[in-house]
Structure formats: C-alpha cells, structure tokens
Structure 1
Amino acid sequence: MSAVPPVTVDPNATLETRAARFPVHQIWLASSQRAVTYREADGADSNALPLVLLHGIGSGAASWVQQFAGLGDTRRVLAWDAPGYGASTPVDAASPTASDYATVLKEWLDGLGVERCVLVGHSLGAIVAGAFAVAHPQRVAGLLLLSPAGGYGAASAQVRSTKRDQRLAMLNELGPQGLAEKRSTNMLSAHASDEARAWVRWNMSRVIPHGYAQATHLLANADLASDLARYSGRVAVAVGADDTITTPEACERLAQAARTPLQVVPRAGHAGYIEAPAAYTAIIDTFCRTSDGQRSQ
C-alpha cells in the first residue's frame, strides 16, 4: 500500500479567503473620470455614523478585515484602495500633495452618499485624513489617527529628496514582493503572531509600483502637523508602544499639534490594528460611539 501524500495548504489561499469575506467593490466617479475600489461591511445600525478607514503606504483596503468583522455589524464600515492602489485610478500629479488624495476621497464619499463620517487614517492614510478634515471639516465627526506619518514637508529640501529617493530606489530594486519580504518585519512588534506577519506580507506584496511611487512623493511633500494645528475638530491619536516606524515620540509631537493626549497601545508595532486587532478595534469603537453624538453638527 502506498503512503498517502501529505496535504499541502497554501497560506495565501487562506488569506485570499479571509479577504473574500468582504469583496472588492468599484465605483466610477464621472466627475473626475476615475475608478475607486473599496471594501465594505454594511452595518445594520442606521443611527451610527459610517466609519471610513484609510490604509498606509504599503497596504490596501483588505488590511482592515478584522475591523470589518468587529465593527461591521453595528455601522457601515468602508475602506478604500487609495489612488494608485488596487484598481483605483492614480492621481494625476507625478509628485502629488495630500490635497490631491483628499479631493478623490471627497468624490468617493460623495459617490457613496456619505455626508458625514468618522475618519480613521493609519500611517500615510493619516496624512490624507488630516488634509480632508481641514478642507471639509463639516464632513468629519471625528478624526482618529493610528501611528500617523507626519511627512517631510517641513524639512529641508535635502532631507525631503533623500528620504524620497531612498524609498524609490528600494522600490525599484525590490519590487512589491521584495518590499513585502524585507519591510514587513518592521511593521510589527516582537509580539506579533505568524498569522499577523503573513497578513502584512500579503497586503504589502500587492502594492502597485506606480501608486507606491506617487505615495512616496506624497510622504515627502506632506506636513500633517501643520494641518492638525489648523484643524479645530475632534481628534484622537494612538500608537503602538513598539512602533519603530512612527515612534511614540514622533506621534506625541503630532498629538501635541492636534491638542490631544497620545494613547499608547502596549505590545504593538506600526501595523497595530493587524497584530493587536482587539485593542485597536476597541479604540476605534469607543471613538466612533463618542463621535455618533456629533452626527448632525
């Protein structure tokens, strides 16, 4: 009798199945002749404000599936693929600013009928969220920034170009798959599970080089602290205690610009919402419930 061959499980197939619980949707924005792809959990509680989630530079809408699962029963939860990610049309500018992305964000929310929301930005997504909140404060009931990237817009021209060119060179050398293998470890703390590490790699390996390059320019051009200093709405800032990319010290400066205390999450790194989903989903849920009272303001 011949031996039964071992069953091989493709780890990527499991991740694909996980993402498929919240399938990709696409909307065509006729006003700007562009497409935006996104994922959604359509919560049944119509009295709750929609929750809009903006991912970072090495990620995508699928990275939020644990928040969809945790919060999608009580409110509408939306996460876009930023311009140049997924099948979303890139912005037009070769070296864009935060306002270029904020304009698309407004058009996307208009297209989905979202007049007012709770807006959450992670890392580079915080830059877009901050620019949108300043431009359209009446649309934002609450602004929650998770491990926000501040951008290098206030730095010297040399620092800005060096930071930009180093990241672009890494992209050209490694490509998305290489980026995922080399950079994903930095996104998490030493406490992260193997599953969380695989999930970060899966999302990062799917970035589109052109969109990632444009986002690199955005990072070099942006100055989130300046936007937060001008914004008078409700803001909260949280960071993982073990975040080595946007460190607690750097996030403290952004929290001070926003005139709000910094919340530090223990045993979490940069992609804290992936490796410590219960803690981050609780933070988002609490912030949303408080913001629901400002639905019509």
Structure 2
Amino acid sequence: MEQNQPPIPPQPDRQLLEALSSGFAERVVTVDRGAQVTYRSGGTSGPAIVLLHGISSGAASWLPCASLLAAQARVIAWDAPGYGNSTPLAQARPLASDYALRLDGLLQTLGMQPALIVGHSLGALMAAAYVANARNLPARLLLLSVAQGYGAAGKEAQAQQVAQQRLAALDTLGVEGLAQRGPARLLSELADAGAQAWVQWNMQRLNPDGYRQAVAMLCGDDIDRYLSRRPASLPTRIACGSHDVVTTPLACGTLAERFDLPIALIPDAGHACYIEQAAATARLIRSALP
C-alpha cells in the first residue's frame, strides 16, 4: 500500500451483513401526510419491543442485540426521520416531540402496542417525548446512555458550542470522516474489531441533512420537560455503559436521581453499549419486559 493512500476501513463480518438482509430486513410504511418511515423487524411473536437509535446510528445498528431478542419478542427498530430512507421532518429545528409524533404514526400504522420502548442516546430523548404525549403508552420504558439535551434555561452557551462543534466536524470531515473517528468515541478501549467495524459501517450511512436536524434537536430540547410529564404509573429504568465518555455514568446517575429512577451499569461498555455488549444489553432489555 502506498504511504499516501488512506487505510481501508474495517468491514463488518459477511455473515452479519447476510443476517441483516435475511433476518432484520428493511421495511417501509407510509404514515401521516405521506411521510415514509423505514424500519427493521425481527421475531414474529411475543411482546413488542421498539428500539430507537441515537444521533450517529440507524435501525441496522441494533442487529446484534435484536437478534438475541427475536426468539422471545417481536422487535421493531426504526430509522428516525432523516435517517436511512425515512422522510425528514418538516421543521429545520425540530423538537423531540416532533420525532415522537412520527413514531406514533409508525406504531399506529403497524397497529402495534409496545410492551417496551428502548431509547438509546438521542433516542432516549425521543422515547421520553413519546411517553409524555402518547395515545398508546408502552408498558415499560428503558433509557440507555441518555442524551439529555441542551435546551434547558442556562445551557444556551453549551448548546451553541455543541452545535458548532458537531456541525463544523460534519462540514470539515464529511460523513466518512465522522465514521472513521466514531469507534474511538462511541466504544471503550476494550471493544473488539467487530464492534468497531459495525459502528463505523452504520455511521457511514448517515444522511447529512438528517444529522443536522438531529443536532438541532439535541441542542434545542431538554429531556426533563418530558420525563416530568410521563405517567407516574409507567415503570422506567435507566442504564449506561460503565466506560461511556459521551453520556457518562455520572450524568445518567444524576438524571436517575433527579427523577427517582433505578439505574444499572453495563460492564465493559462504552456509549454504544448495545453494540459493544450486545448480550448484556439484550439481557437487560429482557429483564425490563413486563
């Protein structure tokens, strides 16, 4: 290889990609006002589990974890608006409640009553917004490595800084550049090559405009406004990777304490806990089912 030639990015295992096509294939539905939502589905019977990805990912990223749940549950993982082939939201600066409305449209179209909604990172903010306003509540809620948002009063400077940093990185590096540096940020130093390749492969499929919308939501909304309105009867749990440097155990623990919620740590996992420790995360999800 020539010295100036960029390194070949790691590729996911061929069997993993085959399993994605055969057992967790992409599907598409049209929801309210003609918007398209793509999602992936595994399992055919049992309680319904809905999986919501974060800002640097997509529905496919859940495959290693979802495949461990499919024998006991019907698993649905969506591509959030602006991700995959899902229609972006109309708002330039959407709120989590706007994503939640689209999720409600998907679940209504599928005729699905979730037993459990699992939100990871920015997906946790969307999940919290959903349960604050949903017509059909899930039986349980599980929030993983929670992105809390920067939209609260007093966080204006931090919100501006985060938005500038993320958008500057996108403009400078492009999606491919973000994907190349993603594993070091989203995984712990213990992560194997397979997890690193899977994080990078999924990040390579980001849509720049959808990512920009998600950054605007991250920096303009706040999870407290939704968790404070969730039904008191809805069992809710928080978990976080023990090595998460993005949404740290301290930050997740403080959130759990603020709302008097139980919290668990996923050992030997960074931010993308459901990729790095798929089996442990699947066990946690099963334990959260009613």
| TM-score, reference length from structure 1 | 0.89
Q: List runs of 5+ in structure 2 lacking aligned partners.
A: 1-9
In the aligned structure 2, how far is the partner of 1:195 from the partner of 1:18? 15
Q: Which residue of 2 aligns with 1:71?
A: 69
Deviation at 1:174, TM superposition (A): 1.1
In the aligned structure 1, how far is the partner of 2:114 from the partner of 2:221? 24
Matches within 5 A, 1:158-169: 158-169=157-168
Deviation at 1:173, TM superposition (A): 1.0
Helix, strand or coil at the partner of 2:169: helix
Q: 1:215 to 1:26 in 2, by over 3 A?
A: same
Q: 2:157 is aligned with what amino acid?
A: Q
Q: Which residue of 2 aligns with 1:153?
A: 151
Q: Which residue of 1 aligns with 2:41?
A: 40
In the aligned structure 1, how far is the partner of 2:273 from the partner of 2:12? 21
In the aligned structure 1, how far is the partner of 2:135 from the partner of 2:85? 28
Matches within 5 A, 1:179-198: 179-198=178-197
Q: Which residue of 2 aligns with 1:214?
A: 213
Helix, strand or coil at the partner of 2:143: strand
In the aligned structure 2, how far is the partner of 1:162 from the partner of 1:275? 29
Q: 2:127 is aligned with what amino acid?
A: A
Q: Which residue of 2 aligns with 1:25?
A: 27
Q: Which residue of 2 aligns with 1:56?
A: 54
Helix, strand or coil at the partner of 1:246: coil
Q: 2:55 is aligned with what amino acid?
A: I
In the aligned structure 2, how far is the partner of 1:253 from the partner of 1:262? 10
In the aligned structure 2, how far is the partner of 1:278 from the partner of 1:80? 20
Percent identity for Structure 1 against Structure 2 = 42
In the aligned structure 2, how far is the partner of 1:226 from the partner of 1:40? 31
In the aligned structure 1, how far is the partner of 2:197 from the partner of 2:259? 34
After superposition, give the CA deviation of every residue in 1:259-281 in whole Å (9 maximum; x if it has no partner).
Answer: 11210122111001101111110
Helix, strand or coil at the partner of 1:230: coil
Q: Which moved more, 1:171-180 or 1:77-86?
A: 171-180
Matches within 5 A, 1:1-297: 11-12=11-12, 14=14, 15-21=16-22, 22-29=24-31, 31-45=32-46, 49-136=47-134, 138-154=136-152, 155-231=154-230, 232=232, 233-288=234-289, 291=290
Conserved? CA contact 2:40–2:60, under 8 Å: yes
Conserved? CA contact 1:61–1:79, under 8 Å: yes
In the aligned structure 2, how far is the partner of 1:61 from the partner of 1:138? 22
Q: 1:24 is aligned with what amino acid?
A: E
In the aligned structure 2, how far is the partner of 1:44 from the partner of 1:138? 20
Q: List runs of 5+ in structure 1 lacking aligned partners.
A: 1-9, 292-297
Deviation at 1:28, TM superposition (A): 1.1
Deviation at 1:98, TM superposition (A): 0.6
After superposition, give the CA deviation of every residue in 1:30-62 in whole Å (9 maximum; x if it has no partner).
Answer: x321100000013333xxx21000000000001
CA RMSD of aligned residues (A): 1.5
| TM-score, reference length from structure 2 | 0.91
Q: 1:77 to 1:168 in 2, by over 3 A?
A: same
Conserved? CA contact 2:241–2:269, under 8 Å: yes
Question: Which structure: larger Rg?
Answer: 1
Deviation at 1:254, TM superposition (A): 1.6
Deviation at 1:132, TM superposition (A): 0.2
In the aligned structure 2, how far is the partner of 1:282 from the partner of 1:137? 28
In the aligned structure 1, how far is the partner of 2:12 from the partner of 2:263? 36
